Structure 1
Amino acid sequence: MPEVIIPGPEGRLEGRLSPAPRPRAPVAMILHSHPKAGGTMNERITQNLFKTFKQRGFLTLRFNFRGVGRSQGEFDNGIGELSDAAAALDWVQSFHEEAQTTWIAGHSFGAWIGMQLLMRRPEIRGFISISPPANMYDFSFLAPCPSSGIIIQGKEDDIVTPSGVQKLVDKLRTQKHITIHHDEIPRANFLYDGEQEALMASVDNYLDMRLDPNSPIK
């Protein structure tokens, strides 16, 4: 798994890349949780998402937002981190222009950044948002949400509230031309302690459905 240095808006961004296993392989970018709460590209959820996309033949990238690990810069309350994500996706596309589709996945703060990015990048055709912090951040930018995806939430999460996420899901489901899946993991807290297997089963079941050539969701 090559270590990579990505040119970011405030200097280098530290990342890990699983190269494309074949021409025209799809791209997946994984975004970690809040930098000020210990989020890094090496946390369990981020690594597990990285592994599942890699195993499915995606060119897969995870990286540290500015100010995390060896990435340069300072935390910027989401504004700069969105720029970091856009720069990282630009970097991937600079040498893998033939990708047919792109996916974005993230946990909490990373889910919030990822869903902002998909509003700006029409090549992103699917998303996995784990515990999107709808009770903490404004998600009204999803007007309308341009892509289908899945939102996963732990029912025992006392940081990102299930009720806040449910309101977001209900709002997105009023939109036409996209399909929003919603899974709740019954015993899961914010970090999915003891429930990582259930979390990744939800992710894998969704990817099995979406990546099936006969899937009705494109």
Structure 2
Amino acid sequence: MDAKQTKVAIPCGSIFLEGVLHEPVGAARRPGVVVCHPHPMFGGDMTNSVVVSLVSALVGTGIVALRFNFRGTGRSGGMQTGGEREPEDVRAALSFLQEQPGVDAEKLGLAGYSFGAAMGLRVAAQDERVKAFVSVSLPYIEGSDGSDPISSATDDPAVLACTKPRLFIVGDRDQFAPLSSFRARLERFRPPYRIEVIPGADHFWLVRAGDAAEKAAEYMNEILLGTMV
């Protein structure tokens, strides 16, 4: 599907976040999804190949997608905080997306990869605007003391109480979320949620990133539009 790309500046408190809005060509108002990138302290940004694959798959099914750089990343203002204030960035991106004339503000979704999945999970659990959430390789460190806002996302009381539709995509070779312990961790979550295991993929998705993106887009269409693609 043809799409228009627009570089945007997203207001977030006293700073602006760098972003790119991807809009399928057409007059109809469409669902919108914010896509969050992996850890900026390890080189993650909105040009990450998994993020780009997610955006491409979403737009290909007729969904408006917004990718952005977290604070202190690329041309985004502010300083990186390792997960403490980055959820504010996610909420700002949602606010920007819902105001776009081509977006149906009642059909917003949130997706994230690795660090972006942890930040997105926290926001999705508390923000009523989010109707569906997709995680790709949510990082989880067994034995975490809870002080790390990334690996402790699955312990957040709001996350544990969440009853929104959620899809967790993970590779069966993920180094940061071993499948057996990851499944056990998610058993504490309230339904509805699904786990989609991609054989042969690890945390970095050097292979099968496209398969993960397709699963994410299919799920967003199913939940936000009530259709399968």
Q: Does 1:106 align with 2:106?
A: no
Question: Which amino acid in 1 is paired with 2:171?
Answer: G
Distance across 2 between alignment mates of 1:29 and 1:43:
15
What is the Cα deviation at residue 146 of structure 1? 3.1
CA offset at residue 61 of structure 1?
A: 0.3
Partner of 2:50: 45
Assess, with a 3 A threshold, how the Cα gap between structure 1 residues 85 and 214 changes in structure 2: closer, same or farther.
closer
Q: For residues 45 and 75 of structure 2, what CA distance do their matches in structure 1 show? A: 11
Check whether the contact 1:133–1:165 (CA below 8 A) recurs between aligned residues. Answer: no
2:153 to 138, 162, 169: 138
Tell me the CA shift for residue 28 of structure 1. 0.4
Q: Which amino acid aligns with 1:26?
A: P
Contact 1:13/1:64 (<8 A) preserved: yes
Matched, 1:171 2:183: no
Superposed, 1:176-215 pairs within 5 Å as 178-207=191-220, 209-210=222-223, 213=226
Identity of paired residues, percent?
27
Match of 1:67 in 2: 72
CA contact 1:10–1:66 (8 Å) conserved in 2 = no
| Partner of residue 41 from structure 2, selected from 36, 45, 60 | 36
Deviations 1:42-93 (A, max 9, x none): 0011011111111222221000001111111111121221111111211222
TM-score where L is the length of structure 1: 0.87
Equivalent pair of 1:153/1:165 in contact (CA under 8 Å): no
Q: Which residue of 2 aligns with 1:157?
A: 174
Q: For 1:93 and 1:207, how far apart are their aligned partners in 2?
A: 16
CA 1:205 to 1:93, structure 2 compared with 1: closer, same or farther past 3 Å?
A: closer
Which of 52, 58, 63 lines up with 1:58 in the alignment?
63
Verify the 8 A CA contact 1:154 1:188 in the aligned structure 2. Answer: yes
Hey, what's the Cα distance between the residues in 2 that align with 1:152 and 1:143?
18
Give the counterpart letter for 2:178 in structure 1: T
Unaligned runs of 5+ in 2: 142-150
Taking a change above 3 Å as real, the CA distance of residues 69 and 181 of structure 1, as seen in their structure-2 partners, is: same
Match of 1:2 in 2: 6
**8 Å Cα contact 1:126/1:147 also seen in 2:** yes
RMSD over aligned CA atoms reads: 2.1
The one of 12, 17, 20 equivalent to 1:16 is: 20
Higher share of residues assigned strand? 2
Give me the whole-angstrom Cα distance separating, in 1, the residues matched to 2:27 and 2:129: 19
TM-score (structure 2 length as normaliser): 0.83
Distance in 2 between residues matched to 1:86 and 1:211, nearest whole Å:
19
Gaps of 5+ in 1: none
Structure 2 CA distance for partners of 1:214 and 1:199, relative to 1, 3 Å: closer
What SS class does the counterpart of residue 139 from structure 1 fall into? helix
Secondary structure of 2:170 counterpart: strand
| Matched-pair contact (CA < 8 Å) for 2:107–2:224 | no
Aligned length: 211
One-letter amino acid of the structure 2 residue matched with residue 35 of structure 1: P
- Whether the 8 Å CA contact 2:31–2:224 is kept in 1: the answer is no
